[in-house]
């Protein structure tokens, strides 16, 4: 026996109990089990399950299916150790045979292609065969409570930079456990490429470069999900050959750092007119007015862009557009409001509550706290009847009280589609963390660290939160309901009941309202301890607990922050408070990043994490230092949203042209040039109005939000247009519910919709044009007046003066039209139908 072999055996046999010293990495599993007489005892969690995962046994298409396959069911992605262990060893048809290991189904099925629906997985005598057989021979042990926990994956190389298509690199994956053991698990890990056109990865962890660009490959083992950046430069202008590119801000430097590695040279700066239109649409959802454009173009001062950003940040349109986005995110939909009569009013109040805070530039975390920590009664010691009077005062016809003065805004959590604690958990993780937890509701998240237990414990933060009447006010509420007769609201007396309610509201008499409240009752600790013990022993129990976790009852399990500590309930009568504290904590990896990333995505058409609502381990940021720096700055500036806007909008990256060069034309996620984006639905509605309204109305639209689709009123805007252009319905928790894709219907609408044509042909502005030109008096129109109107058409639509050739062409249009008014009208229609108008560029 060679020395090498001796060492190997010692290392392998002592594997389970030994604490390997640092750097003592256990060699790969296949080598240790090449021989049938290997004496090591394989570990169920560390070796047996990952081997099955690697062969696809627990995939969705095979035994990981919710229904199982051939009567054998494994947990999806293999993280429910107990249930998988039971599926293999217990029940009527155990898959192993301790007395005659060689007769075990888990050996005979995969080796016999004929009787196995999944075909041949490994031959007899292969290392996989030996691992399984040896595990059975040694007693087929499962997991025990005292076992070491998985700690992390360490991957070499940490980053892969290719220099030609077809080049390869092999990964080595090492798993660390809490007992100090480390093992090379490359052979029993799974892999995925995030972009096959950049690089592919095979089952052995060999990466092959497929084309220029950058992406990640991801390795999976146990609960570990580890992305590895891969790239092939897009040009030969890398490193020292990279040109000198101005990087005026910290964030520009971080963008350029990445571009330099990729050999991507950024586009030049946008023109002043392009910048003005872009920033006005992005920041305020509004076109710049003709006067604004003229004075901005005439301004020769070097800081005019920065000043314009500051100026736009002070407009109501800024507050309205970003309130619209916050309403998208938090799901402000009139149909889902809690009140039976005042749904639409509630939806408007929700908007206004946020609007006021955005306008006053209240800190982002304060706004979120107002939603997350909301209570119906948010004044100390308010009685139920006083609460009802207060709520009534917001809905009465004459001089309604100011809802926006409320400290908290309860409608986010009182919506009918988030009544269950699990629904609140999903909404909060999506909106406030940018994390999708759906997967973990039913099984371990395949692309992140979240387990079902994590989900159940996260949902516990919301379990005591309910909509109804907070005990002990029940009897009072019942009496009031009877007095008002509100239970007849569903019947034929509806009108009468509503009349009674209106009347009482005007007299400041209470009418019954439901309230968002927290049940602070505690369940006896021994009971919860029992639940937790069960949860620990049987992960299946997590699903049952989720279902049992009825809203308005004390949490059955101790709430646990995502990826952080548990929150003992004794310290937290309202566990949401602890959740909010965690959101604000410096080490919170999601809260600030989620908002910073969404803001960035709104300005660049693509997030640093893309899609922005998928912050998961397998979907890493395209530029981590950039995301970190922005989030750090945002927190350091006390969640000042205007600071964030100002910072991003003042970067050279934001102000770049869409005109690409040979090195950056394929780049679409490293911010090397502006991406052309179709305008969002509400903005399309509003800019069409702006372009066709008379001069006074158009100006008023910049300051009054009342007639705007981005404003507070629910009935403003052309519904057909808004649907056709993809306004989100705010029901699903997905950033994808807003669609900015173009369609044939949109084009047909812009070309020929009767209502829109009416506004073009005879809207406010055309009436002014008609008056100005006065064709009735037979006086010829002066060329100067005609030219000024042509110029105004361009300013109103594409926000720039006409170029020389365009001016010539436009004059020709006016000269050859049935009359000058007709000429201007035709020109207006034409410009509204250019691509330049309907996109932000």
Sequence-distant (6+) residues with CB within 8 A of 512 are 388, 477, 480, 481, 484, 486
d(CA 212, CA 197) in angstroms, rounded, equals: 8
Q: Reduced to 3 states, what is the DSSP secondary structure of residue 840?
A: strand
**DSSP codes joined into one string, 66-127:** TT-BTTB---TTS--HHHHHHHHHSSSS-S--SSSGGG-HHHHHHH-TTT-TT---S-TTSH
Please list every residue from 302 through 341 that binds other proteins, using CB under 8 A: 331
Query: Does 525 engage in binding with other proteins (CB under 8 A)?
Result: no
Sequence-distant (6+) residues with CB within 8 A of 242 are 260, 263, 265
Residue from 256, 309, 320, 439 touching other proteins (CB under 8 A): that is 439
For residue 225 the two structure tokens come to: 């999900």
Smallest gap from residue 619 Cβ to other proteins (A) = 7
Q: Which of 729, 725, 765, 610 is nearest to 675 (CA)?
A: 610
Query: Does 787 engage in binding with other proteins (CB under 8 A)?
Result: no
Residue from 174, 734, 785, 807 touching other proteins (CB under 8 A): that is 734
Smallest gap from residue 237 Cβ to other proteins (A) = 20
CB closer to other proteins out of 336 and 514: 336
CB closer to other proteins out of 388 and 838: 838
CB closer to other proteins out of 60 and 407: 60
Show the site string, 557-576: x = touches other proteins by CB under 8 A, - = not.
--------------------
Smallest gap from residue 402 Cβ to other proteins (A) = 29
Show the site string, 403-432: x = touches other proteins by CB under 8 A, - = not.
-------------xxx----x--xx--x--
Smallest gap from residue 800 Cβ to other proteins (A) = 9
Residue 839 parent element (H or E)? strand 839-840
CB closer to other proteins out of 616 and 647: 616
Smallest gap from residue 236 Cβ to other proteins (A) = 20
Place of tokens 């100005």: 772
For residue 232 the two structure tokens come to: 């092939």
CB closer to other proteins out of 87 and 760: 760
Smallest gap from residue 838 Cβ to other proteins (A) = 7
Place of tokens 């998961």: 616
Smallest gap from residue 798 Cβ to other proteins (A) = 7
Smallest gap from residue 139 Cβ to other proteins (A) = 28
Smallest gap from residue 751 Cβ to other proteins (A) = 5
Smallest gap from residue 733 Cβ to other proteins (A) = 5
Query: Does 30 engage in binding with other proteins (CB under 8 A)?
Result: no
Query: Does 83 engage in binding with other proteins (CB under 8 A)?
Result: no
Burial 38-50 (b: 16+ CB within 10 A, else e): bebbbbbbbbbbb
Stretch that binds other proteins, among 51-59, 106-114, 529-537, 689-697 (CB under 8 A): 51-59
Smallest gap from residue 191 Cβ to other proteins (A) = 7
d(CA 377, CA 358) in angstroms, rounded, equals: 23
Smallest gap from residue 436 Cβ to other proteins (A) = 6
Place of tokens 């602890």: 578
CB closer to other proteins out of 158 and 755: 755
> Under a CB-based contact definition with an 8 Å cutoff, are residues 20 and 35 in contact?
no
E-state strands within 5-45: 25-26
Smallest gap from residue 423 Cβ to other proteins (A) = 5
Residue from 174, 385, 442, 577 touching other proteins (CB under 8 A): that is 442
Smallest gap from residue 200 Cβ to other proteins (A) = 9
Query: Does 111 engage in binding with other proteins (CB under 8 A)?
Result: no
CB closer to other proteins out of 194 and 647: 194
Sequence-distant (6+) residues with CB within 8 A of 807 are 787, 790, 791
CB closer to other proteins out of 499 and 732: 732
Query: How many CA atoms are closer than 13 Å to the CA of 224, on its beta-carbon side?
Result: 27
Residue from 114, 244, 587, 741 touching other proteins (CB under 8 A): that is 741
> Under a CB-based contact definition with an 8 Å cutoff, are residues 318 and 284 in contact?
yes
- From the centroid of its chain, how far is CA 256? 26
Query: Does 278 engage in binding with other proteins (CB under 8 A)?
Result: no
Residue 515 parent element (H or E)? strand 515-518
Show the site string, 344-373: x = touches other proteins by CB under 8 A, - = not.
------------------------------
Smallest gap from residue 426 Cβ to other proteins (A) = 5
**DSSP codes joined into one string, 624-693:** HHHHHHHHHHHHHTTT-HHHHHHHHHTSTTTTB-S---TTTTT-SSS-SSPPPEEPPHHHHHHHHHHHHS
Alpha helix stretches (DSSP H) within 314-383: 316-330, 343-359, 364-372
Query: Does 195 engage in binding with other proteins (CB under 8 A)?
Result: yes
E-state strands within 211-303: 213-221, 224-232
Please list every residue from 373 through 392 that binds other proteins, using CB under 8 A: none
For residue 249 the two structure tokens come to: 């801000």
Considering CB under 8 A, how many residues would be counted as binding other proteins? Answer: 93
Smallest gap from residue 486 Cβ to other proteins (A) = 24
Stretch that binds other proteins, among 35-43, 294-302, 730-738, 770-778 (CB under 8 A): 730-738
Residue from 660, 697, 768, 772 touching other proteins (CB under 8 A): that is 660
Query: Does 126 engage in binding with other proteins (CB under 8 A)?
Result: no
> Under a CB-based contact definition with an 8 Å cutoff, are residues 724 and 743 in contact?
yes
Residue from 1, 22, 61, 99 touching other proteins (CB under 8 A): that is 61
Query: Does 63 engage in binding with other proteins (CB under 8 A)?
Result: no
CB closer to other proteins out of 62 and 649: 62
Neighbouring CB atoms inside 10 A of 283's CB total 23
CB closer to other proteins out of 439 and 710: 439
> Under a CB-based contact definition with an 8 Å cutoff, are residues 48 and 22 in contact?
no
Q: Reduced to 3 states, what is the DSSP secondary structure of residue 394?
A: helix
Query: Does 446 engage in binding with other proteins (CB under 8 A)?
Result: yes
What would you measure as the largest C-alpha separation in the chain, in angstroms? Answer: 114
> Under a CB-based contact definition with an 8 Å cutoff, are residues 257 and 643 in contact?
no
Smallest gap from residue 401 Cβ to other proteins (A) = 30
Neighbouring CB atoms inside 10 A of 375's CB total 20
Please list every residue from 211 through 250 that binds other proteins, using CB under 8 A: 211, 213, 220
Show the site string, 596-615: x = touches other proteins by CB under 8 A, - = not.
------------------x-
- From the centroid of its chain, how far is CA 476? 42
Stretch that binds other proteins, among 155-163, 377-385, 771-779, 830-838 (CB under 8 A): 830-838
Residue from 121, 308, 325, 357 touching other proteins (CB under 8 A): that is 121
d(CA 465, CA 520) in angstroms, rounded, equals: 9
- From the centroid of its chain, how far is CA 784? 52
Residue from 499, 720, 729, 780 touching other proteins (CB under 8 A): that is 720
Please list every residue from 742 through 771 that binds other proteins, using CB under 8 A: 742-755, 757-758, 761
d(CA 705, CA 37) in angstroms, rounded, equals: 79
Query: Does 129 engage in binding with other proteins (CB under 8 A)?
Result: no
């Amino acid at each position: 026996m060679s020395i090498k072999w001796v060492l190997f055996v010692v290392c392998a046999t002592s594997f389970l109990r030994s604490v390997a010293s640092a750097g003592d990495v256990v060699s790969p599993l296949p080598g240790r089990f090449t021989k049938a007489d290997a004496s090591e005892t394989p570990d169920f969690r560390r070796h047996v399950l990952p081997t099955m995962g690697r062969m696809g046994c627990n995939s969705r298409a095979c035994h990981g299916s919710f229904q199982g396959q051939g009567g054998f069911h494994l947990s999806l992605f293999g993280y429910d150790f107990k249930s998988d262990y039971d599926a293999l060893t217990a029940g009527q048809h155990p898959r192993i045979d301790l007395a005659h290991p060689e007769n075990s189904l888990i050996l005979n099925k995969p080796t016999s292609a004929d009787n196995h629906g999944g075909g041949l997985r490994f031959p007899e005598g292969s290392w996989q065969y030996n691992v399984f057989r040896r595990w059975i021979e040694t007693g087929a042990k499962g997991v025990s409570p005292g076992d070491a926990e998985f700690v992390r994956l360490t991957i070499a190389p940490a980053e892969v930079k290719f220099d030609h298509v077809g080049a390869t690199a092999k990964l080595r994956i090492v798993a660390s456990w809490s007992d100090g053991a480390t093992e090379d698990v490359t052979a029993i890990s799974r892999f995925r490429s995030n972009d096959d056109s950049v690089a592919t990865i095979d089952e052995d962890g060999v990466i092959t470069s497929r084309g220029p660009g950058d992406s990640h490959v991801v390795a999976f083992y146990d609960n570990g999900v580890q992305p590895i950046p891969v790239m092939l430069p897009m040009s030969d202008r890398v490193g020292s050959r990279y040109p000198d590119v101005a990087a005026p801000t910290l964030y520009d430097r971080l963008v350029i750092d990445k571009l330099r590695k990729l050999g991507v040279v950024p586009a030049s700066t946008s023109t002043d007119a392009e910048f003005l239109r872009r920033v006005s649409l992005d920041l305020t959802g509004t076109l710049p007015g003709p006067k604004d454009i003229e004075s901005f173009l005439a301004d020769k001062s070097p800081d005019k862009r920065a000043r314009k950003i500051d100026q736009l940040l002070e407009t109501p349109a800024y507050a309205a557009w970003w309130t619209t986005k916050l309403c998208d995110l938090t799901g402000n939909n009139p149909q889902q409001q809690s009140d039976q009569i005042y749904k639409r009013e509630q939806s408007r109040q929700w908007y206004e509550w946020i609007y006021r805070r955005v306008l006053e530039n209240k800190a982002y975390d304060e706004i979120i706290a107002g939603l997350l920590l909301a209570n119906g009664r948010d004044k100390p010691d308010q009685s139920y009847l006083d609460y009802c009077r207060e709520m009534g005062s917001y809905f009465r016809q004459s001089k309604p009280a100011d809802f926006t003065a409320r400290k908290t805004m309860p409608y986010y959590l009182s919506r009918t589609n988030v009544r269950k604690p699990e629904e609140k958990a999903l909404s909060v993780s999506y909106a406030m963390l940018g994390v999708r937890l759906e997967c973990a509701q039913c099984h371990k998240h395949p692309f992140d660290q979240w387990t079902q237990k994590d989900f159940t414990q996260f949902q516990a933060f919301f379990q005591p939160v309910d909509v109804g009447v907070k005990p002990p006010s029940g009897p009072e509420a019942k009496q009031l309901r009877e007095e008002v007769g509100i239970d007849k609201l569903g019947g034929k007396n509806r009108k009468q009941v509503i009349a009674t309610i209106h009347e009482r509201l005007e007299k400041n008499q209470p009418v019954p309202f439901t309230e968002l409240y927290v049940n602070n009752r505690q369940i006896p600790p021994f009971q919860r301890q029992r639940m937790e013990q069960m949860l620990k022993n049987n992960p299946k129990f997590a699903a049952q607990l989720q279902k049992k976790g009825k809203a308005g009852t004390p949490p059955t399990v101790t709430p646990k922050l995502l990826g952080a500590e548990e929150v003992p309930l004794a310290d937290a009568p309202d566990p949401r408070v602890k959740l909010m504290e965690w959101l604000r904590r410096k080490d919170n990896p999601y809260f600030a990043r989620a908002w910073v990333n969404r803001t960035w995505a709104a300005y660049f058409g693509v997030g640093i994490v893309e899609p922005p609502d998928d912050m998961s381990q397998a979907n890493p940021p395209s530029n981590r230092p950039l995301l970190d720096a922005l989030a750090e700055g945002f927190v350091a500036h006390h969640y000042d949203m205007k600071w964030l806007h100002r910072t991003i909008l003042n970067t050279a990256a934001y102000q770049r042209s869409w005109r690409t060069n040979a090195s950056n034309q394929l780049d679409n996620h490293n911010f090397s040039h502006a991406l052309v984006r179709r305008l969002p639905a509400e903005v399309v509605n509003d800019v069409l109005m702006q372009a066709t309204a008379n001069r006074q109305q158009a100006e008023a639209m910049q300051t009054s939000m009342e007639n705007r689709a981005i404003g507070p009123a629910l009935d403003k805007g052309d519904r057909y247009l808004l649907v056709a252009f993809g306004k989100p319905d705010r029901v699903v928790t997905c950033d994808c519910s807003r669609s900015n894709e173009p369609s044939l219907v949109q084009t047909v609408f812009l070309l020929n919709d009767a209502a829109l044509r009416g506004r073009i042909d005879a809207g406010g502005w055309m009436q002014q044009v008609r008056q100005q030109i006065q064709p009735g008096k037979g006086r010829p129109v002066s060329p100067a007046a005609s030219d000024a109107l042509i110029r105004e058409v361009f300013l109103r639509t594409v926000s720039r003066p006409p170029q020389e050739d365009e001016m010539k062409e436009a004059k020709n249009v006016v000269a050859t039209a049935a009359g000058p008014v007709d000429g201007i009208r035709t020109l207006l229609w034409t410009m509204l139908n250019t691509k330049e108008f309907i996109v932000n560029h």
